[in-house]
Amino acid sequence: MTALLPEGLRDRLPPFADAAAAIEARVLGAIHAHGYERVDPPLAEFAEALGTRLKAGALHDAVRFVDPVSQRTLAIRPDLTAQVARIAATRMGHHPRPVRLSYAGSVLKLRASQLSPARETRQIGAELFGLDSVAAAQEVVTVAIDALAAANVARPSIDFTLPDLVDTLAAGPLPVGPERLDDLRQRLDAKDAGGVAAIAPDYLPLIAAAGPFEQAVDRLRAFDRDGVLASRIAGLTAIAQTLDGRVAMTLDPTERHGFEYQTWLGFSLFGGGSSVEIGRGGTYTVVHEGGAEEAATGFSLFADRLLGDPPVHDRRRLFVPFGTRAADAARMREAGWVTVAALEAGDTPEAQLCTHLLADGEARAL
Amino acid sequence: MTALLPEGLRDRLPPFADAAAAIEARVLGAIHAHGYERVDPPLAEFAEALGTRLKAGALHDAVRFVDPVSQRTLAIRPDLTAQVARIAATRMGHHPRPVRLSYAGSVLKLRASQLSPARETRQIGAELFGLDSVAAAQEVVTVAIDALAAANVARPSIDFTLPDLVDTLAAGPLPVGPERLDDLRQRLDAKDAGGVAAIAPDYLPLIAAAGPFEQAVDRLRAFDRDGVLASRIAGLTAIAQTLDGRVAMTLDPTERHGFEYQTWLGFSLFGGGSSVEIGRGGTYTVVHEGGAEEAATGFSLFADRLLGDPPVHDRRRLFVPFGTRAADAARMREAGWVTVAALEAGDTPEAQLCTHLLADGEARAL
């Protein structure tokens, strides 16, 4: 019974834990190379304050407890970006913009969802505070694709969306009453042509403007007779040029689920031909103390989904026979070897999963 | 108000978070080089099961919450070694011994103590399951000192103790009634000569057998007229020889606080001339399912105490002027540079804390 873990929580064992740590280090290195410096917020915060920066309802998914010190409710973070935004807006609020921050840490949810059964996941990401321009998006998307490359993600792909597209059109050339707007958004997101036709048939061509990037952008451009989307289309095209050839690209301009808090741009990251998202990002708004708003652009990766199975992991281990002088083993470690010393006469290279044996001062393959 | 964090919880900001991550990576690398493979247990477990492997009372210091899935109480880990012992005893119970495991992760306490005001700390360590011999202790102590060296800890020192010393003497040549044993242990731990004299004056010389290693061991040897401590003294001497010259060594044979669960050997790690412990370890016993017991030896470091102030951290940043071709910046990253791109015409190397400027394809120091 003591071996049993709660649903959605798990141990990571050898060699997977080392492989995951190695991948995380490479991903963070790729992000760091673009000037994103690490911040490390605490596991728990005051629930109320954290809730103001989380998506609506997200606090209900957080583990909460009463702090015996302050007698207030604390929450274990269900998401790291809310904390990083807090740091950018408060403790680093005086720093010249843009501010580039990176992070990696565990997040915990009270309940798992059907789509993501893990309750504890590892989140890695980068956020650029102060800009949501095309140049900012080009950089952030480049960092994201560099991060996937560092993790050896096969066949990376990116799916773009325009989260405020329907709002923009409804406020301009294709008016929709506010009471029907949310319904329209949902039906477009669901590609429900009948539903869209019943509410606002003018929006129907948007459903066809999804798919491989070039073709979808062309359809979006044809749809945009009034030019109200021109800057967005130009931005998407510029971002796509930045990534040209590095990654497969698609556009789903009305996808909205999970992008409710993004402004003009959102994107999902995929790899290995899987339909399971391994990361997402986009442009958004951060609220400073006092209420001032600031543009931001960033992305997060779900680190657990970066680890293929079986992992690519070098597990060379040098068996050091019982009685070998300590200095001889130390010399092999200095030369880069992982040494596994026999501490009893009966220990064997096989029991210790060793690939090599130290004999006559040299490593011999087994 | 949203910037305020609960007492004992804090943000780590640039450049400290990167420096801490770099130190942690080096420490884990030193541990890995001795064949210790990483395990990564979850943040939360069933409280009752975790409690059976924690020190008495430690579960009261853990954040607990009711799991809506199982309707059972879960606890956020206040310590990682209990989880690593669980893994060794259950999921890796079939693995040939010894099993060498390493770990690094956050632990959370409901309350801070006066001695350690942080409620969230980062624990790094290594545990060897299957042995508590002198050879095992020699290896584990070597790994610990290698880890301190990897963290650039200045003037490392190690303080040894013999946690079951009083029990051993009381069961042998210097009988003490069980009703007075705990009191004697506490007074010896507190170096309370008057108190010890009132309970069992024969134990008084032990108070003087504390201090610089060689001198203290000599006094302990002189005290041990019956030779009941001979194997312990020989073990200590052998361990000291392994470390000879690498680290300052002391012996405090009756220190007991925090070592209640250790068997024959315990040790504390210090550095930089500070009296604040930066790690501890020793030999102990792991209970398998079914009740079988297994010897183990290991140590943990309190990672937050490894970070000096100010941290030694290379922060070379190359400013990439606005309008530079993306490929030029990518080439500099490939050459090992951290690039910080201007995304607007007005951005400056000073605002981005850059040390170098990319000009005519070369990095120029600023």
User: 3-state SS of chain B?
Assistant: CCCCCCCCCCCECCCHHHHHHHHHHHHHHHHHCCCCEECECCCEEEHHHHHHHCCCCHHHHCCEEECCCCCCEEEECCCCHHHHHHHHHCCCCCCCCCEEEEEEEEEECCCCCCCCCCCEEEEEEEEEECCCCHHHHHHHHHHHHHHHHHCCCCCCEEEEECCCHHHHHHCCCCCCCHHHHHHHHHHHHCCCHHHHHHHCHHHCHHHHCCEEHHHHHHHHHHHCCCCCCHHHHHHHHHHHHHHCCCCEEEECCCCCCCCCCEEEEEEEEECCCCCCCCEEEEEEEEECCCCCEEEEEEEEEEHHHHCCCCCCCCCCCEEECCCCCHHHHHHHHHCCCCEEECCCCCCCCCCCCCCEEEECCEEEEC
CA distance to A189, A233, B310, per residue, from A159 (Å) = 14, 15, 43
CA distance from start to end of chain A: 39
Q: pLDDT value at position B311? A: 53
Which pLDDT score is estimated for B1? 47
- Chain A: closest CA distance from residue B319 (Å): 9
Contacts of A44 in chain B (CB under 8 A): 6, 9, 63, 108, 119-120
Pairing of strands B99-108, B211-212: unpaired
d(CA A38, CA A271): 25
Residue B200 to residue A184: CA distance in whole angstroms: 85
> Is there a binding annotation on residue A214?
no
CA distance A3 to chain B (A): 6
pLDDT of residue B312: 53
Closest residue in chain B to residue A7, using alpha carbons only = B69
- Residue A79 annotated in ligand binding: yes
Tell me, what's the pLDDT at A98?
A: 97
Residue B113, Cα to own-chain centre: how many angstroms? 17
Task: Name the nearest CA neighbour of B243 among B151, B146, B154.
Answer: B146
Tokens representing A285 are 């708004």
Enumerate the domain spans of chain A. 318-365
Instruction: Round to whole Å and give the CA distance between A147 and A125.
Output: 9
pLDDT of amino acid A274: 87
- Distance, CA of B179 to CA of B108 (rounded, Å): 36
Q: β-strands B318-320, B339-341: how paired?
A: parallel
Nearest CA in chain B to A338: B33
Place of tokens 């990251």: A269
Chain A positions touching B33 (Cβ under 8 A) are 333, 337-339
Buried b (16+ CB within 10 A) or exposed e, A9-28: bebbbbbbbbbbbbbbebbb
Closest CA to B47 of A4, A43, A67: A4
B120 CB contacts (<8 Å, ≥6 apart)? A42, A43, A44, B8, B9, B106, B107, B108, B109
Query: What is the CATH class of B16-36+86-104+116-163+209-306?
Result: alpha beta
Chains A–B, number of C-beta pairs less than 8 Å apart: 242
Q: Read off the pLDDT of residues A83-136 as tens digits, 9 standing for 90 and up.
A: 999 999 999 999 999 999 999 999 999 998 887 789 999 999 999 999 999 999
Distance from C-alpha of B163 to C-alpha of B185, rounded to nearest angstrom = 10
Alpha-carbon distances of A303 from A104, A156, B114, rounded to whole Å: 9, 15, 36
Q: Summarize the confidence of residues A282-302 as an average pLDDT.
A: 95
Angle between helices A16-32 and A134-150 (to 10 degrees): 150
**Residue A1 pLDDT > 50, yes or no?**
no
Specify which residues A127 forms β-bridges with: A101, A298
Residues of A in contact with B41 (CB under 8 A): 11-12
Percent of chain A with pLDDT over 90: 87
Residues 162-191 of B with CB under 8 A from A: none
Taking chain B (366 residues) in runs of 10, the rounded mean pLDDT of each run is 83 93 95 97 96 89 94 96 96 95 97 87 97 98 97 94 95 94 95 96 96 97 94 97 92 91 96 91 93 96 78 79 95 96 96 95 95
Structure token digits, residue B346: 């007005």
Q: Which two tokens stand for residue A273?
A: 């031909």
Say whether A69 sits in a helix, a strand or coil.
coil
d(CA B341, CA B123): 36
**Structure-token pair, residue B349:** 């190397």
φ/ψ (deg, to 5) at A89? -85, -20
Lookup result for tokens 């590609």: A191
Touching check for A359 and chain B: CB below 8 Å?
no
Angstrom distance (rounded) from CA A289 to CA B209: 59
Give A221's DSSP letter. H
Residue B57's pLDDT is 83
Helix (H) or strand (E) holding A2: none
User: Do A45 and B133 lie within an 8 Å CB cutoff?
Assistant: no
Q: Are B7 and B118 a contacting pair, CB within 8 Å?
A: no
What are the b/e assignments for A106-124, b being 16+ CB within 10 Å?
bbbbbebeeeeebbbbbbb
Distance (Å) from the alpha carbon of B135 to chain A's nearest alpha carbon: 6
Query: Which pLDDT tens digit goes with each residue over A38-79?
Result: 999 999 999 999 999 988 888 999 999 999 999 999 999 999
The residues that bridge with B365 in the sheet, in sequence order, are B356
Stretch (H or E) spanning A232 = helix A230-243
Could you tell me the CA-to-CA distances from B112 to A27, B6, B124 in Å, in that order? Answer: 34, 11, 19
Whether residue A33 and residue B87 make contact (CB cut-off 8 A), yes or no, is no
Question: Is residue A260 marked as binding?
Answer: no
B123 is in an annotated binding site: yes
Is this complex's ipTM strictly greater than 0.95?
no
Give the B window 235-274 contacts with A, CB below 8 Å.
242
Q: Considering only alpha carbons, which residue of chain B is nearest residue A353? A: B96
